[in-house]
Amino acid sequence: MEQTKRVTFIAKEGCEDKMKELLCAMVEPSKAEDGCVFYEIVQYKDNKRKFMAVETWASDEAIKGHQSTEHYAIYKSSFEPYCEKKYTDHLEVLS
C-alpha cells in the first residue's frame, strides 16, 4: 500500500541556503530508488526558512529501503545544526 508523507523543516535564521542544499541533494538519488513514486522538495515563497518534502513510496518496505541508503544517512547526520524545527505528517491520498 502506498505511503505518502509531508516533512516540514524550518531552517535556523541564516541557514536557509545550507538547508536548501542538503534537502535538494536528496531528490535525485531518492527518485532513483525502487519504490519511489513521488519525491519533491519545495521552499515557501513567503517564508524562505520553511521547506517541505513531499514523498510517496510504494510500500513500507520501500520507505525502510530509503532510510537505509547512503544519501539518507548523510542527510540524517547533517541537517540538525541547520534546522530549528522538523515535523512529519502522514497523509492519505483520497483520489
Q: Domain of 75: which CATH number?
A: 3.30.70.100
The residue range of the domain holding 70 is: 3-91
pLDDT at site 65? 96
Strands 36-43 and 50-57: antiparallel
The conformation of residue 30, written as its DSSP 8-state character, comes to: H
Domain count, the chain: 1
Q: How far apart are CA 4 and CA 46, in angstroms?
A: 25
Residue identified by cell 548523510 is 74
57-72 pLDDT tens trace: 999 999 999 999 999 9
Print pLDDT tens along the chain (95 aa). Answer: 899 999 999 999 999 999 999 999 999 999 999 999 999 999 999 999 999 999 999 999 999 999 999 999 999 999 999 999 999 999 998 98
pLDDT at site 8? 98
Burial class (CB in 10 A: 0-12, 13-18, 19+), 58: middle
Residue identified by cell 544519501 is 71
